[in-house]
Amino acid sequence: MKNKLSDNRKGTKGFYTALCLSAVMVGSACWFAYDQGEKITKELTGQNTVREDRAVDKHVKNVPKSTTVYTTPAATRTVPTSPTVTEAAVIAEEEPAEAVMDRIDPEDLPPLMPNVLNTGITKLENPKAPLADISAVLEPFSNGELVRSSTTGTWQTHNGTDIAAPEGAEVYAVSNGEIKAVENNALWGTTVVLDHHNGFMTRYCALAPDLSVQEGQMIVSGETIGTVGSADIESALPPHLHIEMKHHGKYIDPMDQIS
């Protein structure tokens, strides 16, 4: 009888122990489910997002690693570049033409060809013959080709025209202009340079020293410059006038302008 009672008590105690363990397990499961639900809800509603600036301001620790960090891009170094064609055009348009011309050295410019200047002149204005008689040409213009000098025996270009004339014959201005230079040259004798101010320049060589003009003087077409003299470099020829002409810096045949 005692054994049966003892067995009943053991059975009852085991039952309650199992019941308690079951209750604990059920409670734990409910709590775990509740906790996970809360976390999911907060994540879906955004309540669990923490901004880095708030964490710094309030000294909050353990900031989630998923927090987005915003950084400022590094400054970009600007490298100067050449102006584009459009920019260069604007700059040129804004700069006065006088300032541009002041920077240009005429010595650096190449010789200009006919009709480059705004005058467009390719012929002398109101041309006159340099001598009363220009029919006898002793040595013509060589146009850049080498010819043998009868005086020196060397081959050289003949940049002018030799027109026969007696010593003392009057020499005239072939067109209006300014006496740009007067020189006593060891080879060419007395020389006079006449600038016509339109791209043409005339040089008279083998003149007599007693001139009728002086440097800087303005003269008109047909006015007397001086008289025929001599030049050592062409002393093998009869008395004559050696006359040269340039158009925009290029030698041309004087006879094309005055005959």
Q: What is the pLDDT of residues 74-112, one digit of tens each?
A: 444 444 444 444 444 444 444 454 454 455 555 554 443
**Tokens describing residue 258:** 């005055």
Give the range of the structural domain holding residue 232, as residue numbers without chain letter: 137-258
Domain stop point among 35, 57, 79: 57
**Tokens describing residue 226:** 């001086």
35 shares its domain with 142: no
Domain stop point among 37, 57, 77: 57
**Tokens describing residue 216:** 């800087």
The confidence score (pLDDT) of residue 31 equals 55
CA dist 96 → 104, 107, 121 (Å):
14, 22, 27
Segment 248-252 mean pLDDT: 95
Domain count, the chain: 2
pLDDT tens digit sequence for 110-157: 443 333 333 456 888 889 999 999 999 999 999 999 999 999 999 999
253 shares its domain with 145: yes
pTM of the model: 0.55
Segment 194-211 mean pLDDT: 96
Amino acid present at 91: I
- pLDDT exceeds cutoff 90 at 40: no
Backbone angles phi and psi of 245, in degrees to 5: -145, 140
128 in any annotated domain: no
The confidence score (pLDDT) of residue 168 equals 97
CA dist 79 → 37, 82, 87, 88 (Å):
58, 10, 17, 18
121 in any annotated domain: no
211 in any annotated domain: yes
**Tokens describing residue 41:** 């809800």
